[in-house]
């Protein structure tokens, strides 16, 4: 009830029987103004903050939106200068927000002029926590694509689920009709099976006997020995369920059943082999067992889409720095030595150069050359005999005292931080920025 006391408007509010509280009308007005200010900040995207790298174990949990944008723009500028004739027109990239998947989306659009749909699982910013790097990468890609007049749509959610497959197919039917290239570049630690509901978790372990080898902490440059016990049969099976070819096959089956595969459609999944020094923990370990399954799946998929002239390939790519690199023993040290050798021989490539060669020299070349197991080998320069001989020699000699001389550990660290938008010369990291950035027209299923 509104009344007046001493010339001021005052509300009397019943709190309980026979109890009243007087509230000054001016206080209510001030509270309302504060509410509007908070709402205005929310609409504009939140409070600005200074963003620095922060780690939880081997994983960097903070990302810089402007740094990620610059990283994406650098790759886009490379793609614009390296055109591909007779390339794909409608490209679905499953796992499109980082690494080789992101590079595939960039090359498809800015080298080949294709329209793209990207599928990924990324985290938007919340309060004082930044979004994931893949979220910011997609913001940057989408902005650049639209500014250049290219179609770009993104779907965020569990790519292993039937729901996301249906959502993607509906979008293809609505906007494209057919898709002619499907890139499968998922990398996930776990998977919920869409039919059984069972949750599988992958592990990075050797098979049969313990792994004993060198590794490095890139923060302090200490080279140490590491021992990993072998995986159980259950761990092997679960890793294959997460990282093998079953989900890739499910995607292609769903697209085929929905009749959205174009004539002569191509699908490619990415893999890695690497040198003998990492085989025990990688290619001969649990991950390698999953990669074997992935390669077997390519043969099955090719048979299933042969009636439309379709093709399925596994592309074995070069070792590059990824968000998961620090979690695999021996790999950071191997990559650091490999970088030194390949840079000295002027053979070094990052994801964007690798995918450009994949498209230009294999997928859309006049002649497709495969290895004796039917795989595309874009790791050809890495696995050159002269490169691997030098890498092995340095591997045998490297220790904490000479690692800066015998490897490019600084280059590894720089590339790792760049994945999260840090360490880029043009960015002022002491400046407050808005971490809440939206992806326009995103279909968000999380």
Catalytic center residues: 282
CA distance 420 to 131: 10
Contacts (Cβ under 8 Å, ≥6 apart) of 218: 326, 332, 336, 409, 412, 413, 416
**SS3 call for 166:** helix
Where are the extended beta strands (E) located within 25-89?
A: 55-56, 59-60
**How many CA within 13 A on the CB side of residue 213?**
23
Contact by Cβ (8 Å): 108, 148: no
CA distance 421 to 428: 11
Contact by Cβ (8 Å): 104, 93: yes
**How many CA within 13 A on the CB side of residue 294?**
29
Contact by Cβ (8 Å): 347, 287: no
CA distance 320 to 185: 14
Where are the extended beta strands (E) located within 243-290?
A: 261-271
- Helices 65-80 & 409-419, crossing angle to 10 degrees? 100
CB-count exposure of residue 300 (10 Å: 0-12, 13-18, 19+): middle
* Strand ranges across the sheet with 443-444: 376-377, 311-316, 261-271, 179-184, 90-94, 115-120, 152-156, 443-444
């Amino acid at each position: 009830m509104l009344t007046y006391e001493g010339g001021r408007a005052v509300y009397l509010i019943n709190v309980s029987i026979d109890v009243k509280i007087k509230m000054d009308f001016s206080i209510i007005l001030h509270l309302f103004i504060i509410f509007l200010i908070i709402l205005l900040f929310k609409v504009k995207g939140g409070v600005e903050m200074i963003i620095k790298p922060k780690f939880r174990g081997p994983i960097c949990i903070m990302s810089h939106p402007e740094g990620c944008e610059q990283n994406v723009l650098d790759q886009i500028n490379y793609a614009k200068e390296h055109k591909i004739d007779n390339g794909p027109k409608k490209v679905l990239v499953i796992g499109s927000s980082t690494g080789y998947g992101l590079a595939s989306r960039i090359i498809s659009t800015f080298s080949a002029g294709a329209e793209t749909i990207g599928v990924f699982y990324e985290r938007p910013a919340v309060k004082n926590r930044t979004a994931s790097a893949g979220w910011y990468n997609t913001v940057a890609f989408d902005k650049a694509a639209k500014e250049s007049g290219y179609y770009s749509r993104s779907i965020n959610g569990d790519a292993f689920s039937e729901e996301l497959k249906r959502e993607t197919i509906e979008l293809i039917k609505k906007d494209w009709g057919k898709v002619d290239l499907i890139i499968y570049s998922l990398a996930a630690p776990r998977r919920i099976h869409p039919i059984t509901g069972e949750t599988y978790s992958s592990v990075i372990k050797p098979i049969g006997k313990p792994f004993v080898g060198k590794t490095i902490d890139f923060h302090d440059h200490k080279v140490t020995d590491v021992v990993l016990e072998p995986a159980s049969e259950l761990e092997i099976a679960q890793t294959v369920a997460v990282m093998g070819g079953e989900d890739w096959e499910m995607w292609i089956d769903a697209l085929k059943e929905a009749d959205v595969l174009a004539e002569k459609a191509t699908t490619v999944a990415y893999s890695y082999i690497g040198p003998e020094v990492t085989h025990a923990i990688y290619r001969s370990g649990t991950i390698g067992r999953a990669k074997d399954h992935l390669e077997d799946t390519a043969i099955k998929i090719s048979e299933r889409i042969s009636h439309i002239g379709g093709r399925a390939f596994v592309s074995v790519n070069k070792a590059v720095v990824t968000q998961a690199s620090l979690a695999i023993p021996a790999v950071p040290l191997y990559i650091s030595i490999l970088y030194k050798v390949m840079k000295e021989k002027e053979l070094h490539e990052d994801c964007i150069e690798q995918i450009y060669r994949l498209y230009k020299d294999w997928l859309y070349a006049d002649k497709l050359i495969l290895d004796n197991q039917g795989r595309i080998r874009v790791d050809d320069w890495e696995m050159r005999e002269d490169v691997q001989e030098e890498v092995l020699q340095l591997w045998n000699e490297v220790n904490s005292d000479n690692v800066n001389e015998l490897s490019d550990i600084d280059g590894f660290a720089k590339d790792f931080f760049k994945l999260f938008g840090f360490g880029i010369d043009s960015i002022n990291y002491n400046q407050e920025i808005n971490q809440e950035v939206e992806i326009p027209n995103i279909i968000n299923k999380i």
